[in-house]
């Protein structure tokens, strides 16, 4: 399977790249064999079905990059730094889940860890950097939306993160805030989720404004399916209702920024 899926705009392209790094579910057999059966069944804290939730974005002129492989292979939203194998919250390859549950029957060797970084992490970031460079060359600047979802830690519907006003303008974050709020969602800024590695790193590039958008599971998934031993379904009325709402939200964002 390819490492990522790239969806180009179906209408006139805008200087926006949407990145979905944590919705992929594929795990190669050699890596799956190292995980516990319980972990393979649940894959907790995956950003469930965001690829489907946001599949309308190319119809607005937005370029979308989506990871196809699961975050427990490598976490694309973590910096390559020591320890490479460790905390869910800081290491590029997590040893445990977000809530410290064991993942592995057989932990990866140092050679396995380096191989994962070379094979799964670096090519994805090369592609993302390439997309941003192309947009800058074409338009002079680019907006990067890093799209995530969450369960726990906070109870707000949406958290916008720009690393405490370091990675995007007040105009951009205010516009996105208002568009979500106008659809009845409770929005906070830089509360717990201030922006991960992708938002921070690419937000340092000249002519890039980056914004992390975190959406609570309960906004688009059926509540009685959340935090269960198996993945939640996207074939529920809550998901379809949220998708229509998000389509309206991003139409408004695009309209306010560009028209």
* Each residue's pLDDT tens digit, 76-124: 999 999 999 999 999 999 999 998 999 999 999 999 999 999 999 999 9
CA 2-5-7 angle, 5° bins: 150
Q: Is 135 a domain residue? A: yes
Partners of 159 in the β-ladder: 188, 214
Q: Is 106 a domain residue? A: no
Q: Is 248 a domain residue? A: yes
Predicted TM-score of the model (pTM): 0.97
Q: Could you list the residue range(s) of the whole structural domain that residue 249 is in?
A: 4-78+113-258
Q: Is 9 a domain residue? A: yes
Instruction: Look up residue 215 and give its two tokens.
Output: 């959406």
Q: What does pLDDT average to over the chain?
A: 97
Grouping H, G, I as helix, E, B as strand and the rest as coil, residue 230 is: coil
pLDDT band at 152 (very low <50, low <70, confident <90, very high): confident
CATH number at residue 198: 3.40.630.40
Q: State how far the Cα of 53 lies from the Cα of 56, in Å rounded to an integer.
A: 8
Q: State how far the Cα of 2 lies from the Cα of 19, in Å rounded to an integer.
A: 16
CA 121-124-129 angle, 5° bins: 120
Instruction: Look up residue 64 and give its two tokens.
Output: 């979308």
Whole-angstrom Cα Rg for the chain = 18
Q: Is 95 a domain residue? A: no
Q: Is 131 a domain residue? A: yes
Partners of 104 in the β-ladder: 35
Q: Is 31 a domain residue? A: yes
Q: State how far the Cα of 177 lies from the Cα of 5, in Å rounded to an integer.
A: 28
The pLDDT tens digits of the residues spanning 11-47 come to 999 999 999 999 999 999 999 999 999 999 999 999 9
Domain count, the chain: 1
Q: Is 96 a domain residue? A: no
């Amino acid at each position: 399977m390819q490492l990522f899926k790239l969806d180009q705009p179906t209408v006139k392209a805008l200087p926006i790249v949407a990145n979905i790094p944590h919705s992929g579910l594929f795990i190669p057999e050699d890596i799956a064999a190292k995980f516990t059966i319980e972990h393979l069944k649940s894959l907790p804290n995956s950003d469930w079905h965001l690829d489907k939730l946001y599949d309308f974005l190319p119809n607005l002129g937005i370029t979308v990059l989506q990871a196809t492989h699961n975050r427990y292979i490598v976490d694309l939203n973590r910096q390559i730094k020591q320890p490479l194998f460790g905390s869910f919250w800081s290491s590029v390859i997590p040893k445990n889940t977000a809530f410290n549950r064991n993942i592995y029957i057989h932990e990866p060797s140092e050679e396995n860890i380096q191989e994962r970084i070379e094979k799964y992490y670096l090519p994805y970031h090369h592609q993302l950097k390439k997309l941003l460079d192309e947009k800058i060359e074409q338009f002079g600047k680019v907006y990067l939306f890093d799209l995530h979802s969450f369960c726990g830690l906070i109870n707000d519907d949406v958290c916008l993160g720009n690393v405490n006003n370091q990675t995007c303008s007040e105009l951009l974050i205010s516009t996105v805030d208002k568009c979500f709020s106008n659809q009845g969602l409770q929005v906070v800024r830089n509360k717990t989720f201030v922006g991960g590695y992708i938002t921070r790193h690419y937000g340092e590039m000249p002519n890039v404004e980056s914004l992390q958008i975190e959406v609570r599971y309960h906004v688009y998934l059926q509540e009685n399916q959340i935090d269960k031993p198996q993945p939640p379904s996207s074939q529920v009325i809550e998901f379809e209702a949220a998708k229509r709402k998000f389509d309206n939200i991003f139409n408004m964002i695009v309209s306010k920024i560009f028209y």
